[in-house]
Amino acid sequence: MSPVLCLVTDRRRAATTDALVRRVAIAAGAGVHLVQVREPDLDTRALLDLVKRLVAAVRGSRTRVVVNDRLDVALAAGAHGAHLPGSSLPAARARALAPPGFLLGRSVHATDEAAGACAGGGLDYLVFGTVFATGSKPEGRAAGAAALEEAVAVAAGVPVLGIGGVTVARAGAIARTGSVGLAAIGLFADPVETELPEALAAVRAAWENEAHLGRRSSHAASRLLPPR
């Protein structure tokens, strides 16, 4: 099975906001499933404007936009979901405020966090990391692929994506953990625009080449994918 791919934004790595919006549109055309808007330094008005532009950029594709932390902005902008950091409100409470079909994810960093988050209910997916060392969080300790596999095992049917230091070469290691996919910043931000579809195809090939070597995952990636 092909991986669920999640592009995490960082507009500081784009030349302009227009360039970020254009890159997201290209990624959507290349089959990215989720775009996590993670721009913590933007004020509410600027973040709302950016999310609206990104929602418009992916319209007509199967890509869905989720907003990091700001459930209020996600709802106001017509986004497809919200991504809740560990310090954010409980997923069950967010679920009560959200419309049907609204995606809710949460970031976790350890096995016990994954188990606790899933026990609370209301989540559609988890993002576990940092799996490998990454320049975007140089102060963080890499948990490793074995820790990701443990998180998958305790996630109680909730799909898990790995994040942190993700490269084409490491995609196979993530696939072998039983996770349904991966999330990244640099993997999507670094290739030049014209080479982005080719880069994503390489990630899929690396994943599919290794996924059969890991234990069979019971986690349904379909929970993250809209119907065709």
Nearest residue to 4 via CA among 66, 53, 59 = 66
The answer, yes or no, to whether residue 158 has pLDDT greater than 90, is yes
User: Within the chain, where are the H helices?
Assistant: 17-29, 44-58, 71-77, 91-97, 111-119, 145-154, 168-175, 186-189, 196-210
Whether the Cβ atoms of residue 122 and residue 90 lie closer than 8 Å to each other: yes
What type of residue is 219? H
Confidence label for 134 from pLDDT (cuts 50, 70 and 90): confident
Q: How many CB atoms lie within 10 A of CB 42?
A: 16
**Count of all residues that appear for the chain in the document:** 228
Residue 82 forms beta bridges with which residues? Answer: 67, 104
Predicted pLDDT at 218: 43
Higher pLDDT, 131 or 226: 131
Q: Give the integer Cα–Cα distance in Å for 20 and 7.
A: 11
Three-class secondary structure of residue 31 per DSSP: coil
The answer, yes or no, to whether residue 107 has pLDDT greater than 70, is yes
* Domain 4-224 -> CATH class: alpha beta
Query: CA geometry: angle at 190 spanning 178 and 58, to 5°?
Result: 75
Hunting for tokens 């039983």 — which residue is that? 178
Predicted pLDDT at 50: 98
The answer, yes or no, to whether residue 146 has pLDDT greater than 70, is yes
Q: Of 76-90, 109-123, 133-147, 209-223, where does mean pLDDT reach its minimum?
A: 209-223
pTM > 0.85:
yes
Q: Give the integer Cα–Cα distance in Å for 132 and 155.
A: 20
Tokens of 181: 């996919």
Q: Tell me the pLDDT tens digit for each residue of 27-69.
A: 999 999 999 999 999 999 999 999 999 999 999 999 999 999 9
